[in-house]
Structure 1
C-alpha cells in the first residue's frame, strides 16, 4: 500500500475496511473515547487534545474531506440523539458546552481516518506508524505467515484453478493442431493472453510479485483472473480451430497473433477485463504491497467483503481446503463428468 497515508485515500480506506486491523487497533491503541450505542466515539474536543491541533484544523479537514469522514462514521448529533448522547456521556462534555444544540462526533473509524490525514500533528504521525505495523501483523497472522498465496484462501480459488486446467489443455491442443511452429509458441501465446488481460507478460508479473523462479504464476492469481484466462483460452482455442479449418491449413503464428488481438476487442470481454484489472491491481497493492505500474489507473480501495474473503473466518489455506471432505466430493463429481 502507499505508505504515505496523508496523500493516499485508497491506502486509508484499505485500513478502514479491514475490520480485523480495526479491532486490534482499538484494543492496543487505547485512545479513550465515549461508548455510545455500543461503539466508541470521540468528540471534537477529545481529538483536539489527542492530536494536539486546533479547532480550525479539524474544521478545515471536515470541509476538505467531509464525505470521506462521514462515510467512515463522522456524524452530527441533534435533537433526541444528542440528548441521548449527553445522558450517556455523563460529565465528559464539560468543554463542549452543555447547551449546545448540535455536536459532531467521530466513530473510532472516523477518528483513525482523521489521524491518517493530519499532516500538522506529531501524535497523528505516530498513530499512522503504529497503524501500519498493526495492519501488517494482522495480515501476516491471518494469512498464515505470508501473503504470496493469499489468493488461495478464497473458497472459489480451487474450483477456478481446476476448471482452468481443463481449458488450458484445450488451448495448448489448439496450438498444436492449428498453429505452425515449435514448442516456443506456448509461452509466446500465453504471454499474449496475459498482456491482453493485465498488460504484463509472465516475466513482468513475477517481478512485480517478487516470485521465485520455481513459483507457478497461476497459483498466485485471484479466482476472477483465473476464470477470465480460462475464458480466453477456451474462446481462442475455438477460433483457432474454426479459422484453420476454413483455410484448410495450419495458421501462421502471425495469423494466430492477429486472431488473439481481435478476440480481446470483443465487447463481451470489456467489463470482465475491467473487473479483473481492478481486482488484481487493488488487491495486490493492499494484500501483497505489490504495485502493478501498468494497472495503476485501475487501483481502488479494497471493499470490506474482500477482507472477509481472504482473511475472514471462512477463508482457509489450500491445505485446509484439500482436507475438507465436502470440497473433495465436489472435485470428484467434476472429474467423473
Structure 2
C-alpha cells in the first residue's frame, strides 16, 4: 500500500468504500455533530482532533479543495448556516457568529483530511487504523477469498455461461477453418487476451498468483468475459467467411493476420478501454494485484463497484447456485 498522503487514487478507493466508512465511523469514534442526517465537523473540531493549527487546515483546504469538496467538505450559508448555528455551541465556530459562510467537514471529508495531513501524529494513527478497517471489511464480506471476488457480481454467472457457449463456437471454428497445429488453441486464445489486457495467459496467471489448477476465466469480471465472448464469436465468423472465400483452411499465419485486422475495428475500442480500466482498477483494489502493462488505465474504483462486490446484492457463487431464481434463468438460457 502506497503512502496515503501522496496516493490520491488509494485515498479515493477507501473513501468510495461505504462499507469501510460505516465500520470506521463506528470504531474510530471521532465525535462530530449530527446535522441534516449526517455527522459533520467544524474546522474548530478538526484542528482539535488532529492537533494542528487553523492555518494548517486552511492550507490543506486551499491545496486540496477539489478533492475535499468531492468527499463532503462544504460551505454552509443562508438557511443552512442559521440552522447549524442554532444546533451547536458557538464555541465550535471559530469564524465568529457573524460570519456569512462556515466550512464544515463530513465524516468522509475528515477521513480524507486525515489521509492528507503530514504534520499530525493523530492523523497518522487514524490512517493506520483506517487501513486495518478496510482490510477487515474486505475479508469479512468476501469470507477472506478475494481471488474469486469477481464471482460475487450478480452478472457473473450469466456472463460466464454465455462465454462458454461462444467459446465452443470459437474452438469449432478453429477446428474447421484453420490447419491442424497443436498450439492453435493456445495461440488464438492468447491473441484475444493480449488484445484486451495486453497479457497472455501465463502473464495473467502470474499477476493473479494463480495455481496451475486454477481456471483463468473463473477469475475474470463479467464485462471482460462478455468482451472475450464477442471477440470469440466474431473471429469464428471471420474465419468461416475467409475459409469459404479461399476454398481451403487458413494457415496459422493467415489466421493471426485475420485476427489483427478484426481486432483493429473501431467498434471494439470503447469496450476494450472499459475492460482494461475495470480489470486493472478492481484487481489492484480488491486483489492487490498490479497489471503492469495496464498501469495507465488504473482509476479509483467507483462506489457502485463496492456495492457490486461487497454489498447486499453480492453473493458467493455457492449461494447463487442454490438460488431457485438463478437456476430458472439458466434453464431458460439452455432451452433457447
TM-score range, shorter chain: over 0.9
Question: Once the two structures are superposed, what CA deviation does each residue of 1:163-216 show, in whole Å capped at 9, x if it has no partner?
Answer: 000110111111111111323211111011000000011111111111111110
Check whether the contact 2:90–2:97 (CA below 8 A) recurs between aligned residues.
no
Within-5 A mapping of 1:232-243? 232-243=231-242
Residue of structure 2 in register with 1:274 after alignment: 273
Q: Which residue of 1 aligns with 2:305?
A: 306
- The aligned counterpart of 1:158 is 157
Instruction: Report the Cα distance in structure 2 between the residues aligned to 1:23 and 1:79, rounded to whole angstroms.
Output: 30
The 1-side partners of 2:40 and 2:28 are apart by 14
1:91-131 residue CA offsets vs partner (Å, 9 max, x unmatched): 55264433333211000000101111112222111111111
Query: For residues 29 and 226 of structure 2, what CA distance do their matches in structure 1 show?
Result: 44
Looking at structure 2, the residues matched to 209 and 122 of structure 1 have their Cα atoms a distance apart, in angstroms, of 35
Matched, 1:110 2:109: yes
Conserved 8 A contact 1:78-1:101: yes
Q: Deviations over 1:245-276 (max 9, x none)?
A: 11111111111111111111101100000000
Matched residue, 2:217? 218
Match of 2:245 in 1: 246
Equivalence for 2:256:
257
Stretches of 4+ moved more than 3 A in 1? Answer: none
Moved more, 137-146 or 55-64: 55-64
Q: Which moved more, 1:90-99 or 1:53-62?
A: 90-99
Contact 1:281 1:295 in 2 (8 A): yes
Structure 1 runs not aligned, ≥5 long: none
Worse-matched range after superposition: 12-21 or 116-125 = 116-125
- Corresponding residue of 1:36: 35
TM-score if structure 2 supplies the norm length?
0.97
User: Match of 1:77, SS?
Assistant: strand
Q: Where do 1:145-224 residues align within 5 Å?
A: 145-224=144-223
1:121 is the counterpart of 2:130:
no
Is the 2:177–2:249 contact (alpha carbons within 8 Å) kept by the matching residues of 1? yes
SS in 1 for 2:115: helix
Count of matched residue positions in the alignment of Structure 1 and Structure 2? 336
RMSD: 1.2
TM-score, normalising length from structure 1? 0.97
Give the superposition deviation at 1:83.
Answer: 1.4
